[in-house]
Chain A
């Protein structure tokens, strides 16, 4: 049973470019979460999605950031017009439908903004 997959593992962008991060949940999991880990800081929740629905985006910055989880294909976290402060590790997690169930994390995408 494959785990949570994220790609790319490393992404380098120049200021002002767009970054697209992809996440495929574990088989049988219908809930996807995105977290950000800034250097020397803890994991911070960004957004929670189910297929074709954003359930909770209270942790997302108001501008430049968006997320989707289409009916087919991976979940996408999109960052427009990246700035140096966006440099971080972005982790995706997935869980089965029961809200008390454990979240399993992917290996992360490390975004570096030059």
Chain B
């Protein structure tokens, strides 16, 4: 069974204070690891897809990295508008189609 664990559950940062969010996973054959952002009352918004260990992707202040056991979402010099819940999900080779298994998320608050 695919499993995803995210840490920390909640993170408070000051504006400009860089940090990282962790996503540990177990999966039988990784088809893809996905990062989403979710604002209160809204649907998950796609950020990144990573397919293989060593891969990195960047978008503005966010950078996602992938190893064989975990992924990190690095946030550089965050701003208050980066406050949201960040979700990690995996698609496993043994699951039919491409259904995703999600972690419970990291709730990020960036104070001005």
Contact = CB atoms under 8 A, between A and B. Distances in A.
Interface of A: 4, 6, 31, 33, 35, 41-45, 48, 55-56, 58-59, 91, 95, 99-108, 110
Nearest to A108: B43
Contacts, number: 69
Nearest to A56: B96
A13 B103 CA distance: 29
Nearest to A101: B98
A42 B46 contact: no
B7 interface: no
Interface in B81-112: 87, 89, 91, 95-105
Interface in B9-50: 31-32, 34, 36, 41-46, 49
Contacts of A35: 100, 102
A107 B43 contact: yes
A45 B100 contact: yes
A55 B49 contact: no
B36 A105 contact: yes
Given A48-B99, A105-B36, A43 B45 contact: no
Contacts of A55: 96-97
The 8 A-B pairs with the shortest beta carbon distances in the complex, nearest first, are A105-B43, A42-B104, A43-B102, A99-B98, A56-B96, A48-B97, A45-B99, A105-B44
Given A91-B44, A107-B43, 8 more contacts: A42-B103, A44-B102, A48-B98, A58-B96, A95-B98, A101-B98, A102-B34, A103-B100
Nearest to B48: A102
A101 to B, nearest CB: 7
A102 B49 contact: yes
B87 A31 contact: no
Contacts of A110: 41
B42 A108 contact: yes
Given A33-B99, A48-B96, A106-B43, A43 B87 contact: yes
A31 B42 contact: no
